[in-house]
């Protein structure tokens, strides 16, 4: 065999070996199962709501609870937990800490008393954790803490105007839990509304702060006293159990009353002239969207319920004449446009 032939044969053998090897490798990679890449699921948002009182109080707590349920119904992707009756400061702090330790990254406290402990705990936590204090004071706003409140000056203006128009004795009253946040703001608005109706609030308007949100008996006795002493025939009630006490007295005495927070026409249908409904789900939605967009990383802020954003809803009772309610609708539009001073500016 010639050298050329030998070299040629060797080359053919080498090429054949390479071809066989490549075939085996290609066959292996073609025949083996394809690797499946499982996308990493985003961490589930966990949101906790803490209520200071009973969620069946027909007022503050129930308004927050109903809003929570409305929000939860819209966002099934969020894991929601809630607890009621957390009023004591020490209990509030321990409850917040417990939720954070359980991995809840959005914590809502439905009451002014949540601002301070949230601001304290916010300085200690790390990661994706944020707090919202409903009716919290602006001083507690921080890198992780936002607050929310309701423009009760707007609704209060309408209440005051209606009280002045409906009262036959021209003696009206405001019975509330404590002079804080939305309650004192409502008083300011009511005074403006009474004045707009042509009456001096210092002469026809009586205010009684019970000093407690849950003392139903004291609220009832105080309301009865105002009715008997000053011939009050129209009452605005506000504040958890206080509202129940005031409505009970108004019902017994046969005078008109306005509810705050929720719509419960079955309680006193023949005497409730206005239902002031607070839709906190408007704020919950805004806050959650800010969380999703990353806006909360820039720091907390104040959110408002108002007539403009639909967070405040006013529903009239059957004793309000149609022409008077038409006047009210006109006033509401003027308030929205900023044409009426309700006594407060955010």
Distances (CA, A) of 292 to 63, 211, 249, 297: 25, 39, 46, 10
Highest mean pLDDT among 8-12, 35-39, 81-85: 81-85
Q: Which residue has the higher pLDDT, 39 or 311?
A: 311
Handedness of CA 149, 90, 240, 209 (dihedral sign): negative
**Residue 204's pLDDT band (cuts 50, 70, 90):** very high
- Look at residue 11 in the predicted model and tell me its pLDDT: 44
All domains in the chain, ordered by first residue:
46-150+281-305 (3.40.50.2300), 152-277+312-336 (3.40.50.2300)
**Residue 24's pLDDT band (cuts 50, 70, 90):** very low
Query: Is the pLDDT assigned to residue 112 strictly greater than 90?
Result: yes
Mean pLDDT on 299-307: 98
Structure token digits, residue 117: 């402990």
- Look at residue 79 in the predicted model and tell me its pLDDT: 98
Average pLDDT, the chain: 91
- Look at residue 7 in the predicted model and tell me its pLDDT: 46
Q: Report d(CA 238, CA 184) in Å as an integer.
A: 10
- Look at residue 181 in the predicted model and tell me its pLDDT: 87
Q: Which of 219, 235, 86 is nearest to 159 (CA)?
A: 235
Angle at 49 between CA 44 and CA 54, to 5 degrees: 150
Structure token digits, residue 214: 């849950």
Distances (CA, A) of 227 to 175, 190, 209, 219, 258: 11, 18, 15, 12, 15
What's the whole-model pTM score?
A: 0.86
**Residue 41's pLDDT band (cuts 50, 70, 90):** very low
**Residue 42's pLDDT band (cuts 50, 70, 90):** low
136-194: pLDDT as tens digits = 999 999 999 999 999 999 999 999 999 999 999 999 999 999 999 899 999 999 999 99
């Amino acid at each position: 065999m010639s050298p050329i032939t030998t070299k040629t044969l060797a080359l053919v053998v080498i090429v054949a070996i390479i071809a066989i090897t490549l075939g085996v490798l290609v066959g292996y990679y073609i025949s083996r199962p394809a690797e499946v890449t499982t996308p990493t699921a985003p961490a589930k948002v966990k949101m906790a709501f803490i209520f200071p009182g009973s969620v069946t109080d027909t007022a503050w707590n129930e308004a927050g609870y109903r809003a929570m349920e409305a929000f939860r119904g819209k966002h099934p992707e969020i894991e929601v937990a809630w607890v009621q009756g957390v009023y004591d400061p020490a209990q509030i702090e321990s409850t917040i800490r417990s939720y954070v330790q359980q991995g809840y990254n959005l914590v809502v406290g439905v009451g002014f008393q949540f601002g301070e402990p949230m601001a304290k705990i916010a300085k200690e936590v790390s990661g994706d954790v944020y707090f919202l204090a409903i009716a919290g004071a602006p001083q507690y706003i921080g890198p992780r803490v936002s607050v929310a409140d309701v423009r009760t000056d707007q609704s209060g203006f309408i209440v005051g105007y209606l009280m002045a128009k409906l009262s036959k004795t021209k003696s009206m009253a405001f019975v509330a839990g404590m002079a804080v946040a939305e309650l004192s703001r409502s008083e300011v608005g009511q005074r403006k509304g009474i004045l707009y109706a042509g009456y001096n609030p210092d002469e026809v308007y009586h205010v009684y702060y019970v000093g407690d949100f849950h003392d139903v008996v004291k609220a009832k006795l105080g309301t009865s006293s105002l009715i008997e002493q000053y011939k009050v025939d129209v009452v605005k009630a506000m504040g958890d159990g206080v509202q129940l006490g005031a409505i009970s007295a108004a019902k017994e005495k046969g005078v008109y009353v306005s509810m705050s927070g929720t719509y419960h026409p079955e309680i006193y249908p023949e005497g409730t002239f206005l239902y002031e409904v607070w839709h906190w789900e408007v704020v919950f939605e805004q806050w959650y969207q800010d969380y999703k967009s990353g806006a909360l990383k820039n720091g907390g802020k104040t959110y408002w319920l108002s007539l403009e954003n639909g967070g405040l809803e006013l529903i009239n009772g059957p004793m309000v004449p149609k022409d008077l309610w038409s006047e009210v609708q006109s006033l509401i539009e003027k308030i929205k446009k900023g044409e009426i001073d309700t006594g407060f500016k955010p």
